[in-house]
Amino acid sequence: MIRGFVPDNGRLRVADDPLKSLDSALWIDLCEPTDAEEAALEQHFHIDIPTREEMRAIEISSRLYHENDATFMTATLPARTDTDDLLMWPVTFVLVRDKLITVRYHEPRAFKTFPQRVEQVSLGCTSGDTILIALLEAVVDRIADVLERAQRDVDGVSHDIFSADSTRATKDYQSLLRQIGRKGDLVSDLRDSLVSLVRMIGFLGQTVAESAERELRGRIKTTTHDIQALTDQTAFLSQKVTFLLDATLGLVNIEQSNIIKIFTIAAGVFLPPTLIASIYGMNFAHMPELRWQFGYPLALIAMVLSAVLPTWYFKRRGWL
């Protein structure tokens, strides 16, 4: 699918026929483009649209480069940000002839909300550079919202783990471990996205440093600071998730130790009565206690005392 956005009184509106509006459009958005759409853009702008495999290249030289008077920049952006199961996929931004071309194979939230906003409000999107910066600002804002949600969720998990009101019987450690794992994956994915954005915004700043207006350079610098702040926040959340994981595993070990302790104490309490019963269960001919009139109740009393005395001792030592 291809969409073209043309200027309209300081705003942008969707062109009726994107392929016929390539000269007037300031932003051309390719979402899972067909071969015919790619060929049309490559022929019109004399550029080589990167393939899906090329967009996933890890090397910086493959993601950030100049070619035929065009600037290619690729960053990894998250989709499905309403859930913890993010869909991470690269998006390529191309600046050519004062226009912006975006190539993507998924649907980040910013690509839904930004066109609606820019159609209603004038954001100063008069060129490809300004549109790119405004779009990146929308992307960063969305990542900030996701991080804020992750922060609340991590705080909730922390409260569930360390709350004084929760008892050992009500804690579901398996569920807690799953939650912590999902939050860890979420924070890790967002951190990867922010790292790619840091590289991209730095490359963009060097590209437009000489020709850009002062306001545009200021917006690039502000966006860089925002991304760095979010990167620091992801680092903090990552450390907190690791701490919660270690704490949960520690509590699981304590629970297991308490269970083993109970069985050990039970064995210590019932071992002496079992010993007495075993002695008088032997079948030797000469056992004088067998002929005692009160031998049976005395054996019972001895077994009870042998169980009570270890229990009293364990409580005195604080083991129970």
**Which pTM does this prediction carry?**
0.79
SS3 call for 66: strand
The residue behind tokens 């039970």 is: 266
Domain CATH code at residue 304: 1.20.58.340
Return the ∠ at Cα 205 (arms to 201 and 208), rounded to 5°: 130
Q: How far is CA 113 from its chain centroid?
A: 22
Strands 64-67 and 87-96: unpaired
Note whether 293 and 168 are same-domain residues. no
Note whether 245 and 272 are same-domain residues. no
The residue behind tokens 């493959």 is: 62
Q: Do 320 and 311 touch, CB atoms closer than 8 A?
A: yes
Note whether 137 and 265 are same-domain residues. no
Task: Kindly give the confidence (pLDDT) of every residue in the chain, 320 residues in length, as a single tens digit, with 9 standing for 90 and above.
Answer: 888 888 888 788 888 888 888 888 888 999 998 888 888 888 888 888 888 888 877 676 678 888 888 899 999 999 988 888 889 999 999 998 889 999 999 999 999 998 888 888 877 778 888 889 999 999 999 999 999 999 999 998 888 888 766 555 456 788 888 889 999 999 999 999 999 999 999 888 887 766 567 778 888 889 999 999 999 999 999 999 999 999 888 888 888 888 887 888 788 888 888 888 888 787 777 777 777 777 788 888 888 888 888 888 878 877 66
Owning domain of residue 305: 255-316
Give, for 92, the enclosing helix (H) or strand (E): strand 87-96
Give, for 8, the enclosing helix (H) or strand (E): strand 2-8
Instruction: List b or e across 234-259, with b for residues whose CB sees 16 or more CB atoms inside 10 angstroms.
Output: beebbebbeebbeebeebeeeeeeee
Cα–Cα distance, 166 to 63 (Å, whole number): 49
Domains held by the chain: number = 2
Note whether 278 and 305 are same-domain residues. yes
Domain CATH code at residue 18: 3.30.460.20
